[in-house]
A = this chain, B = another copy of it.
């Protein structure tokens, strides 16, 4: 009989340790309310601008935590990952900062802005076909050749704990949130945030915002096991699938997964831009889209929204 693998899930304590480890290097991003948005949604929405984080997304937090947790030997051999963009940018930046070799495998259909930034990041960039299989295969080849340590973009304890630090910061500034909405792709951000939210004296609800065309998290929660399915969505950062760590946390701690159509993602991206002058990427706008689309669940409440990233092609529309 095949033994059941029981992964050790990261905990709230790991998030606290991550924050202590990384806080000297991360940007403390602002938490901002927008009157026009509050009025229309009849709720008090606090946006956490992780699009202004170093490298333009929350991924910098996990990358820092991952690399700062390596042994000297591991640092020597370097790090590697596959990424549609933001995780790769974050890892490359941290690696450069600490003078560590870094290789990123990138699907050739990643947004132009992300590809351009990656090519300037100092990391070694390898393009591949835009399938999970192709990404993993290329990465395994890199790891075999270089003995680099793989740092997965979401299903990795350090990445989850690092991402969770965004919720620690947000709740330190706005302690009376009723709920937090975060996008879900691989689930690193959502699981990290939910570790923090569940540990509050008065637990804070956590909702995942997921593209209709990439609803593996919602299907996995309903099935009680990880479901893999093809992903098709404009939110390029949310095409990846849950892993056993992120699934394990999300099934325990997340209130619900809310689906949002690509049309709604883009409409809310435009709305946010018109209200603030700030363009976030589709994978971030989806969290506002989830509130607008499922507004009855948020009316009259105080809700944090993680604007996860801002690396979007400026000519999107």
Chain A: residues with CB nearer than 8 A to chain B? 27-30, 32, 35-36, 39, 49, 51-52, 56, 117, 120, 273-274, 276-281, 310-312, 314
Shortest CB-to-CB span from A176 to chain B, Å, is: 16
Among B32, B281, B312, contact of A52 (Cβ-Cβ < 8 Å)? B32
Instruction: Please name the 8 residue pairs, one residue from A and one from B, whose CB atoms are nearest each other, closest first.
Output: A277-B279, A277-B310, A274-B314, A278-B278, A30-B52, A30-B30, A32-B52, A277-B312
Among B28, B276, B280, B311, contact of A30 (Cβ-Cβ < 8 Å)? B28
Residue of B nearest to A33 (CB): B54
Contact between B280 and A277, CB atoms less than 8 A apart: yes
Count chain B CB atoms within 10 A of each CB in A274, A277, A311 and give the residue with the most.
A277
Shortest CB-to-CB span from A38 to chain B, Å, is: 12
Among B30, B36, B280, B312, contact of A27 (Cβ-Cβ < 8 Å)? B30
- A28–B28 Cα distance when bound, in Å, is 10
Residue of B nearest to A121 (CB): B35
Which residues of B lie under 8 Å from residue A276 when comparing CB positions?
56, 310
Shortest CB-to-CB span from A18 to chain B, Å, is: 20
Shortest CB-to-CB span from A234 to chain B, Å, is: 16
Extra inter-chain contacts (17) besides given A35-B120, A56-B277, A277-B310, CB under 8 Å: A27-B32, A28-B28, A28-B30, A29-B30, A30-B30, A49-B52, A51-B277, A52-B278, A273-B314, A274-B314, A276-B310, A277-B279, A277-B281, A277-B311, A278-B278, A278-B279, A278-B310
- A36–B36 Cα distance when bound, in Å, is 32
Among B30, B117, B277, contact of A278 (Cβ-Cβ < 8 Å)? B277
Which residues of B lie under 8 Å from residue A36 when comparing CB positions?
117, 120
- A27–B47 Cα distance when bound, in Å, is 13
Residue of B nearest to A51 (CB): B277
Which residues of B lie under 8 Å from residue A311 when comparing CB positions?
277
Shortest CB-to-CB span from A112 to chain B, Å, is: 11
